[in-house]
Structure formats: structure tokens, C-alpha cells
Structure 1
Amino acid sequence: MSDNAALLTPPASVTDIPDDVWGKSNVDDSQSDVSDAGAGPSRKHRYERKMGDTELSYFLPSRQTGVNDMYLHLGFKAPERVARRSRVCTAWAILRLRHPLLCACAELRDYDDVRFIYDAPSSAEDAYSDADANLEYRTQTKDELIDTYLNGPRTLSNSRLSYLILSEPQSSPELMPTPPRTPSPPTLTLEADSASPDETEAEPKREYELLICAMHFLGDGMALHQFANDFFGLLGGAKSDDALRDLLQEEWRTRWATAPEEVSYPIPGAIERRCGILTPRPQSVLPPALEDNMPLPPSRFRRAAAQVDFQLSQQRLIGGQVFPRRKHPARHTVVPTVSVPEERTKAILKKCKAHGVSISAALFAVCNVAWARTRTSGGPGSSVAAPTLMYSALNLRPYFSVPRPAPRDSYWFLAIGYFNVVLPGFLPSTPEAAEKSFWLRARQAKEQSTCAAKSPLVASRTHEMAQERGARARMWAKEDDEREAGTYVPPAPPAVPAEPRESVYPVRAKSSAAALIGLSLLGNLDGVYKHAAFPDAELHTLTTGSRQRQGAMLLFGYTFKGRLWISLGYDSNGFEEGVVERFWKEAMDCVDEFLG
């Protein structure tokens, strides 16, 4: 396979699968209010596509313990009728129809060949039943929900890429009935409980906790938050239960009442090489991989130039400041979170604007100064001369060049790259210079972030990074599997050439590129959540993160409901005792001191 072909993911294929292979649906169509269900396909249709390198780099490390499995917690108040299982399940089913990756499964055929497999629902009731099987009701508190997800047995699997948990804590004055975790019985119909007119008048609101769970190789934080907004738009919006069931029927009819044998309309700009000829690629039912959303011209010179640029950009990364780690057999993730009151948040945003930066840039400076103070106040440290390297995610959606026509326009796909911010690792010599230095470093963080986002080489660097991450993930996955099977043999050291080849890259002194911390800076989430669109569900708390590997750490910063939220997810067993706690205290002190 040529280098150019390696950048492309094969198109989806569709195969007819007889019902007797999969078993008949556990829903009796004759008892459904979906009158045209029989107009749909009599046999299931299967769609699949190969994962791209970026997706592989998330999938392969996740297989054993669920590393990077995402969650989004939302606390909200709502009348009991809004949180009834029938209504929640209908909204969940509608969105799973719109976003097929949520109800696909992942199949590992080889380390180079991992596929999304999607079986289209045979009816609206089939879609409802599938959603019901991936919905659970509990009575846990917010902290219990998150701790169970992060530190307990894995919730997701290769056959369950997404899951929804709704909880009413036991502290609630009235507990909702907690249905069993099992799928719906064969007699399930879409004729669920409808609220009577009297129920909607002056109905008291109760406290609920929602946990949306999804694999990271399905999508990123922006997909997760947009999904949550759409979910509450259905759940807490003006549509009645009957109207939601009608919408589920219509969503299924639009997509699957007449299932296509193949998807024939092309994506402009998407190409594949067949017998040396570049031809349009057919549109997929499943969203394409990240690399296919921003294809590069198949030029050998362009490819060589991209490789040189990527290597030079990597050489510029200089770090070395790291949290001292310790070995511990068990990982335990904790997420301390601070929520700043609304008035104080407004003052902080105003102060950041006065200094020409965003709150995101200021948080880079907060971490930089907090670590320097931690290191000099008794914490073990790195070389004072070493700078602080931090990394963050870059939203790649603005760089996509391949449109997806409706109705196949799901936003559930990966669209993130990474960029780095390097700041000095020392503190100013005098306390008087501390604030001036802080805002200077915040502006440096802004400049580096802007430079990464506006680079004309974003697409080529994304492809190069995807190939590197994918190759590394395949190598580690193969080694992990061989170690588990007891067949691992260390590779032989590379042969030393008789005449060393001179590098074409500039000679630079070796330096560490170790990163101190990652920052997930989500910005103003009130621009994503249209609170006025779901008046029956009052959101008040948001926490997000993922299951982590041992010794991992990630800081989150965002505004939600007019308040600034900062949280730090880290493995409390993976670092030397007291170091992270001191850093977190210093970070909060920096927020008080510099941001106000």
C-alpha cells in the first residue's frame, strides 16, 4: 500500500444479513403505533468502515481498562414526568438514530484493521429497544456516579460504545421507581406513559444526575456537549411524549424505511486510489475518519515537505518539568472541582480582557506559576532552567474540507489535534514583578495557541501526528497482548550502519520534551447549551472527564451557567504524596491572586 493510500480509510460497505442469523426483534410490530414499520427492510443491513489512525490511537489503549472512556455529568432539576424512563428512552433512541456510531460496535481483526460495525435498526421499535438496553436508572449521588465510572469496573465495551445513566439520589424526598437494568421485554411498545394535563400544572421539580458515557474514539468533547444540548432539547423541550414518539418514527422512516443497498452519492474532494486512478469515494452512512475529513493532495513532494515540517516542529518542543511519580498497583482517579460564583466570574473575564487574553490563556499561566511555586516550596523538582511544557486540544472542525449532506451529517466523530505551550520554568526574582510576569506569560500562551490554530500546515501536521500515534498504538497493543499471552520477545537492537547517514535536519542539543500537564479548555459552554430551549430541565452542574491510565493528569476549565469551573482529574495513587495537592492549592491561590 502506498503512502498516499495509507492516509485514507476505505469506504463503508453494506451487507444484507438474514434475520435468522441475528434472531428476530424482541418487539411485536403488531402492537406498535408505528403503522409503517412493515415498510422497512425485511433483512438487517450492516455497514462498516475501517478506523483511521487517530481513532486507532484511542481504541487500542482502551481495550483492557477503558483508558480515555469519556463521561459527561449534568445535574438538573425537572418534574418527575420529564425523567420517566419512556420519555428518556425515546429521546435517547432518536439521537442514536441520528448518530450511528453511538450504537455501533468495534471489531478488532488485526492491529491495522479495526472496524466500526453498524447494524441498522429494522423499525422504530427496534431503535427504541436498543436504546432501552443501553439505559440505566440508579439512586447514586453525583460523586458516587463519577467515582464508579472512573474507578469501578468498566461500563463500556467493544459491543457497547455508549451508555446513559440517570440517577435520582437517595437523598431525594421521593425516589423514582428504579427499573431493572435488563433490556425491555418482548411486549415493549412505544405507547408509554403520557402526562395528563393536570400533571403538568405546578408540578414540583426534583433533583436528577445524568451521566453520558461514550468511547473517546467515537468523538471528542465538542460532540459530547452538543449531544447533551440536543438531548435536553428533546427531554425538557415543549414536545409531548406522543410528539417525541412521532419524531422517533419519522427519524427512522427518513433513514431506514427504504434501506439502501449501497450509498452512491459522492463526497466532493474525497478520493481513493483504484488501479492507479483517483476516483470519488461513495458517501458513508458512518461519519468518515478524521484524516478523511481533511484530505491532502496526493503529491510526493507535498508528502516529503509535510514530514520535514512535522519533524522540525517536534524538535522545537522543549520541556522537562514533570510531577514526580510513584508506582502503585491500583489507579484511583479523583476530580477536585471549584466553581466560581457568577459575579466573580464576570470580574475575572473582565480582567482577562483588559490584559488582552482569554481565560484559557490565563489558565496556562496559572498552571505555570503554580508549579513553579510548588517546586520551590518544598516540592521535588526538575531543573530550574527547564521550561514548562503543557499541551491542549485543538478543535479541527474548522479545517474540514469534506461536507456531509443531510441526513448523514452526524457530529459524532473525532475532530481534535494537539498543540503545545512552552513557558519559562522560573519565578520572578521579586514579588513586585510576579503579577507583571503572570500576565506576560498568559499573553505568550495566547500567542502560541493562536499560532498553532492559524498555521497553514494544520492539516499536514494532523496527518503526520495521526500516523505516528497510530503506529505507536499498534506497537504497544501488540506488545501488551504478547506479554499477556507469555509470548513476548524483545526486538533485536537496530543494526548500526557502517557509515552513519547524515541527518537532513538541523543539529540541535538533545533536550527533554516531557510535558507537565494537559489542559482541556472548553471555553464558554453557555454558547453550546441553549437553556431556553428546554425550560422543563434546569441544568445547574457540569463535570466532565475520562477514565485515565496510571499516573495521568488533566485540568479542565470552562464557563457554564455563568460560572467559571476548574477541575483537576488525576490518579491520586500515581504521584508522590502531597505534590499534586500542593499544586492544586497553589493553582487556586493563583486564581485568587491574579484573576481576582
Structure 2
Amino acid sequence: MATYTQHLPSPALSEVSAHSGQAFLPVQPSPPACHYERRLGDTEASYFLPSRESGVNDMYLHLGFSAPTRYVRCSRVRLVWAILRVRHPLLASKVQMHDYEDIRFLYTSPASVEEAVHDADRNLESRNSVKDELIDSYLNGPRTLSTDRLSYLIISSADEGSSLPSPPPTPIPSTTAPHGTKASLNHDILICATHFLGDGMALHQFANDLFSLLGSSKDEKDLEEILRNEWETRCNKVDDESTLPSSLEDRLPTGSTGRFYRAACRVDFQRCQDKLIGGHTFPRRSGQLRRTIVPTISIDAERTKKMLKACKAHGVSISSAYFALCNIAWARTTDSKWQVPSMMYSALNLRPNLIANKALNDSYWYLAIGYFNVVLPSFFPKTGDVSRTFWHRARSAKEQSTLAAKSPMLISRSREMARERGARARVWGKEDDEKTRGVWVPPPPKPAVQEPARAPSAVLIGLSLLGNLDGIYRHANFGDVKMHTLTTGSRQRAGGMLLFGYTFVGKLWVSLGYDENGFEKETVDKFWNNLLQSTDEFLDV
């Protein structure tokens, strides 16, 4: 349950932005600010605790677009950012850790519209960098986010050919701009948020709302009025029941509370975990600092339509096909351990299974993911009807994905997984903190007990298959703002790897985010090339 306390009104803030020198809204009398807080759930804690040192799992979403410069003025972007931070209070929250069992979101509502704008300005940055520089600095540079800054927005305009401050980009003729308006230029936006705030679905829905406001016909006075209405509705009140969205665990449907039911759920969860067999991993190397790179390819719209049509004809989605493609690419990369299957994991969207909650506050910014695994044979025939084998494995991946999503035990398994991940993160977090302080003592060795041999459960790679993002992005609502590029991912731990696949602006995009210093380069390069070649071989038919 969220709680709040009253604070005295904040002192008047300066009316001039440090970024732009432009005046803010006129200062109005403001009521006392309200303070809200709630504990992080197990899933949120499992993402928060590892993030503390270097930002592991901090998400980013890059969007490249063309637009007349009036749409990306700092004053306009700031107003849109302020509207969305008021509408989604977790974005403007902080985290306070009392102990490993008591970690809390803290949110102080802005005491005035002017304060909401200043808060947005403090978490907004203008740069003159190209896409690759923005992503590289976020992934490999000092951490952008912190316990006091859970979200951040960067907007940039630069020539594609230089990392130095550049002259204005070459105008792009705009066929839709009204008579008398300026031509479009290329721009980039980087949306940054910690993973314990939300998931990929929240990130993309947020980007759609941001661009719907940014590219709308509303001028800045109209946006100021929207901000004022949002603030009046959400901040100028004393109500602790509808501010911070509640955690995943609090919104999962509750089953029986009986001891037998709980024991049965734990047994089912363990039996499900025991079935996960995988004996393949990428060869690793150590001794160098983590450096994440994100090789990315896009396939033109005509070929993408052809590939989607091929998948539909064989009764699978492009997502199921990519499990099979990774499986085949790996089989063509290595010929060892063929007698043991390979296993991949992916996130499972739990939003359709959650109970509506008054504390949702019309916000989609909350974490609502579970996990599932796909296990496929590690060998692949070199001759014969290899296409038939590919589509069979794609259908097998679809069946395994569907079984995970439609299982009658999904809720109990998700709850058990959240509990296990939370407990494990707390143990590891405590151990890391003790090692940092130099007080860690290894636990005493366990007495030798003869245990039954267990099958290996190593994971080859994680896949984040986002589906058709054009179903989320309502491009028709963006006016003269025309998107053309999307890249997403997160800061990784050393030795991290995740494959992304999605369709956007009618194109199929595939990217591999991985620590290039954490893996044997030759093997990863061979796998990536095999994946691209397999995509052409089996889908482009």
C-alpha cells in the first residue's frame, strides 16, 4: 500500500532553463507537495540490486527520425517530457534501500506546474552526437541513471559523418509539411530508464505517446494547458490510492492460500525447472573490461513482407522462426556436444494476466514479465530436406512458447519464479556488498551428500522478440515527424548477450547486443554470419 506525507511548499524555482535560457511558465501559487512510497516487489528487487554498481539492465530506446526543427525545440521537448513524467510518476521517483528486504520507491509530486517543468529539465539533455555515439556512451560510458534518477531523455541532431560538433544537417525535403514551413532534418532521441521501472512494452508505449505529443499540431501553449490539466488531476490532490502503480506480485491473481496449494505450486515449479535441459554456451574469455556492441541489420519492406508471408504459410510467427534460426546458426557454428540439446530463453508478457488495480493510475510503467525457455536439438542435417527440418523446429518453438503462455499454472509459476529471483538477488547483493567492504566470509562447505545426477541446464542465448512494433507506434499521429530507425537494448553485465528481433516501419530488424570482450570473437562472428545467412536461406524464399 502506498503511503504519503505532507511537505511544505517548495520555494520558488528560477524561471529560466539552464539548458536553453528560455522562460518557463509563469509561477503560480502551489499547494504542499505530497510524498508517496511503496516497497519494490520481488521482480523489481531482482533487477534493482544488480543495477546499483554499474547500471546492469538499464534500458535504452533509440529512435531516429526526421522533423522540422520546430518540433524538437528544447522548450517543446521539455513540456512533453514534463507531461509524461507527471502522468507516469515512477519515471520521476527515486529509490531508497533500507535493507535487502525493504527497498522503496519514493515519489514527491511536483508542488506546481513550474516545478514539474524544472524536474523535466533536470532530466533532459541536448547533444550533438550521432546514433552510434549516443548508444555507445550509454552502454559503455559512466552510468547515466542512478537511484536518484530513474529516467532520462537525450535529444540530438548531428551529421552522420562526424563525431565533432557539426554544422546544421542537410535538409530533407518534406512532402507533407504545410506551405511555408521549414524542411525536415534528422534527429535522434534516446529514452533511458531503469529496468525495475518497467519492461519493453512500457518503453515502446511511452515512445508512442511521446511522439504523439511531439509531432502533434498543438503549439507550446496547448502543451502547457495539457501539463496544467495533468498536474491538477494527478498532483493537486491528497490521495494515496491512485498514484504509484503496484508491483507485479501484488497484481497477479491470488490462488488458494492453503498450505497444500502452496506446496503443490512449489513442486510444480521445481518439476518445470528440472525439465529444462541445455548443454551449450558460447566460449568465453575474461580479463578485459566489458564493452557492449550492437551489430544491427534491417531488411527492406518488400523482403520483410515476403518473409512474414512464408512464416504465416508454415503456421508460425517470425518470433518462433528466430528461435529455430538461432538453433540452426549455432549448429552450423559448432559440431560439439550434438547429443545434448541447446536451450534459449525469452521474456513472457504477463500484462494480460494481471488484475486491474486502482493504483495503476492509468500508467503502463510497471514491470510485468515472466520467462520461458525453448529447447531444441543441437544437431542439424547438412544434406536432405533441411528446409523441412527448419520449419519443424520453428513449429516446435511455437508450441513451447504457447504452452508456457497458456499454461493453467502460469500465475503460480510466475509467482514462484519472482520469489526465487528476488531471494537470489538479495543473497548475491549482500555478498557483493560484503566483498566491497572487505568483510565477506565464505559460507562453510556443505556436508557431502550423494545426490542424483542432474542434466545440464546451460542457456545458449537470450532472445527479445518484440513482434510488430508498428502495432504500437501510431505513425499517422506523428504528423511531420517521420521515424526511420529504432534500436533498443540495455547495459549488460560482463559476458552478457541478447538477440533482438522486431518489425518497425515495415522492416525486419535484427540486432545482437553482446560484450565483445567477454566472448571468443571468432565464434560470435561465425554465429552472427550463420544467423544472417540462415535468415536469407529459409525465410527469403
TM-score greater than 0.5 by the shorter chain: yes
Question: What is the correspondence of 1:403-422 to structure 2 with a 5 Å cutoff?
Answer: 403-404=357-358, 408-422=361-375
Q: Distance in 1 between matches of 2:276 and 2:233?
A: 49
Q: Distance in 2 between matches of 1:109 and 1:25?
A: 31
In structure 2, give the amino acid aligned to 1:204: A
Contact 2:245 2:359 in 1 (8 A): no
Q: Distance in 1 between matches of 2:432 and 2:497?
A: 23
What is the CA deviation profile of residues 158-194 of structure 1, one whole-angstrom value per residue up to 9, with x for unaligned ones?
A: 0000000000014565169xxxxxxxxxxxxxxxxxx
Which residue is equivalent to 2:4?
Answer: 14
Contact 1:390 1:517 in 2 (8 A): yes
Q: Is structure 2 residue 222 aligned with structure 1 residue 243?
A: yes
In structure 2, give the amino acid aligned to 1:216: H
In structure 1, give the amino acid aligned to 2:263: A
Q: Is structure 2 residue 384 aligned with structure 1 residue 425?
A: no
Contact 2:92 2:151 in 1 (8 A): yes
In structure 1, give the amino acid aligned to 2:117: Y
In structure 1, give the amino acid aligned to 2:330: W
What is the CA deviation profile of residues 343-379 of structure 1, one whole-angstrom value per residue up to 9, with x for unaligned ones?
A: 0000000001111110000000000000010003xxx
| Partner-residue secondary structure (3-state), 1:24 | coil
| Partner-residue secondary structure (3-state), 2:6 | strand
| Partner-residue secondary structure (3-state), 2:384 | helix
| Partner-residue secondary structure (3-state), 2:402 | helix
What is the CA deviation profile of residues 55-106 of structure 1, one whole-angstrom value per residue up to 9, with x for unaligned ones?
A: 0000000000100000000000000110000000000000000100001001
Once the 2 structures are TM-superposed, how far is the Cα of residue 241 of structure 1 from its aligned partner?
A: 1.3
Once the 2 structures are TM-superposed, how far is the Cα of residue 201 of structure 1 from its aligned partner?
A: 2.4
Contact 1:27 1:126 in 2 (8 A): no
Once the 2 structures are TM-superposed, how far is the Cα of residue 331 of structure 1 from its aligned partner?
A: 0.2
In structure 2, give the amino acid aligned to 1:57: S
Once the 2 structures are TM-superposed, how far is the Cα of residue 28 of structure 1 from its aligned partner?
A: 5.9
Q: Is structure 2 residue 315 aligned with structure 1 residue 356?
A: yes
Once the 2 structures are TM-superposed, how far is the Cα of residue 509 of structure 1 from its aligned partner?
A: 4.5
Contact 2:158 2:168 in 1 (8 A): no
| Partner-residue secondary structure (3-state), 1:351 | helix
Which residue is equivalent to 2:89?
Answer: 100
| Counterpart among 375, 384, 391 of residue 338 in structure 2 | 384
Contact 2:344 2:462 in 1 (8 A): yes
Contact 2:234 2:243 in 1 (8 A): no
Which residue is equivalent to 1:503?
Answer: none
Which residue is equivalent to 2:325?
Answer: 366
Q: Is structure 2 residue 4 aligned with structure 1 residue 46?
A: no
Q: Is structure 2 residue 292 aligned with structure 1 residue 338?
A: no
Once the 2 structures are TM-superposed, how far is the Cα of residue 401 of structure 1 from its aligned partner?
A: 1.6
In structure 2, give the amino acid aligned to 1:387: P
In structure 2, give the amino acid aligned to 1:306: C
Question: Greater CA deviation, 578-587 or 288-297?
Answer: 288-297
Question: What is the correspondence of 1:73-472 to structure 2 with a 5 Å cutoff?
Answer: 73-171=62-160, 173-174=167-168, 201-257=180-236, 259-260=237-238, 262-263=239-240, 283-297=241-255, 298-376=257-335, 381=336, 383-404=337-358, 408-428=361-381, 430-472=382-424
In structure 2, give the amino acid aligned to 1:328: G
Alignment CA distance shift 1:473-1:353 (3 Å): same
Once the 2 structures are TM-superposed, how far is the Cα of residue 25 of structure 1 from its aligned partner?
A: 3.8
Contact 1:139 1:169 in 2 (8 A): yes
Q: Distance in 2 between matches of 1:148 and 1:33?
A: 33
Question: What is the correspondence of 1:541-552 to structure 2 with a 5 Å cutoff?
Answer: 541-552=485-496
Q: Distance in 1 between matches of 2:216 and 2:147?
A: 33
Q: Distance in 1 between matches of 2:393 and 2:443?
A: 44
Contact 2:15 2:25 in 1 (8 A): no
Instruction: Kindly report the root-mean-square deviation, in angstroms, between the aligned alpha carbons of the 2 structures.
Output: 2.0
Q: Is structure 2 residue 497 aligned with structure 1 residue 562?
A: no
Q: Where does structure 1 differ by over 6 angstroms across 4 or more consecutive aligned residues? A: none
Once the 2 structures are TM-superposed, how far is the Cα of residue 210 of structure 1 from its aligned partner?
A: 0.4
In structure 1, give the amino acid aligned to 2:68: P
Contact 1:238 1:534 in 2 (8 A): no
Which residue is equivalent to 1:55?
Answer: 44
Q: Percent identity?
A: 57
In structure 2, give the amino acid aligned to 1:580: V
Which residue is equivalent to 1:585?
Answer: 529
Q: Distance in 1 between matches of 2:452 and 2:186?
A: 58
Q: Distance in 2 between matches of 1:200 and 1:170?
A: 26
In structure 2, give the amino acid aligned to 1:386: V
What is the CA deviation profile of residues 409-454 of structure 1, one whole-angstrom value per residue up to 9, with x for unaligned ones?
A: 21000011000000001112x4223111111000000000000010
| Partner-residue secondary structure (3-state), 1:453 | helix
Q: Distance in 1 between matches of 2:58 and 2:478?
A: 28
Q: Distance in 2 between matches of 1:347 and 1:577?
A: 32
Q: Distance in 2 between matches of 1:59 and 1:405?
A: 21
Once the 2 structures are TM-superposed, how far is the Cα of residue 284 of structure 1 from its aligned partner?
A: 4.4
In structure 2, give the amino acid aligned to 1:53: D
Contact 1:27 1:125 in 2 (8 A): no
Alignment CA distance shift 1:528-1:109 (3 Å): same
Q: Distance in 1 between matches of 2:459 and 2:179?
A: 53
Which residue is equivalent to 2:19?
Answer: none
Q: Distance in 1 between matches of 2:446 and 2:454?
A: 20
In structure 2, give the amino acid aligned to 1:152: G
In structure 1, give the amino acid aligned to 2:512: L
TM-score normalised by the chain length of structure 1? 0.85
What is the CA deviation profile of residues 382-405 of structure 1, one whole-angstrom value per residue up to 9, with x for unaligned ones?
A: x11110100001000000123337
Once the 2 structures are TM-superposed, how far is the Cα of residue 242 of structure 1 from its aligned partner?
A: 1.0
| Partner-residue secondary structure (3-state), 1:589 | helix
TM-score normalised by the chain length of structure 2? 0.93
Alignment CA distance shift 1:554-1:32 (3 Å): closer
What is the CA deviation profile of residues 247-297 of structure 1, one whole-angstrom value per residue up to 9, with x for unaligned ones?
A: 11111011122x21x43xxxxxxxxxxxxxxxxxxx341000110111423
| Counterpart among 450, 453, 475 of residue 427 in structure 2 | 475
Q: Distance in 2 between matches of 1:166 and 1:390?
A: 35
In structure 1, give the amino acid aligned to 2:3: S
Q: Distance in 2 between matches of 1:140 and 1:445?
A: 40
Which residue is equivalent to 1:276?
Answer: none
Once the 2 structures are TM-superposed, how far is the Cα of residue 457 of structure 1 from its aligned partner?
A: 1.0
Q: Distance in 2 between matches of 1:111 and 1:586?
A: 44
Once the 2 structures are TM-superposed, how far is the Cα of residue 508 of structure 1 from its aligned partner?
A: 6.9
| Partner-residue secondary structure (3-state), 2:57 | coil
Contact 2:245 2:363 in 1 (8 A): yes
What is the CA deviation profile of residues 213-248 of structure 1, one whole-angstrom value per residue up to 9, with x for unaligned ones?
A: 000000000000000000000000121111011111
In structure 2, give the amino acid aligned to 1:233: S
Once the 2 structures are TM-superposed, how far is the Cα of residue 44 of structure 1 from its aligned partner?
A: 2.2
Contact 2:301 2:506 in 1 (8 A): yes
| Partner-residue secondary structure (3-state), 2:352 | helix
Alignment CA distance shift 1:557-1:28 (3 Å): closer
Alignment CA distance shift 1:508-1:536 (3 Å): farther
Contact 1:12 1:286 in 2 (8 A): yes
Q: Distance in 1 between matches of 2:24 and 2:288?
A: 52
Aligned length: 522
Question: What is the correspondence of 1:444-523 to structure 2 with a 5 Å cutoff?
Answer: 444-494=396-446, 509-523=453-467
Q: Distance in 2 between matches of 1:165 and 1:87?
A: 14
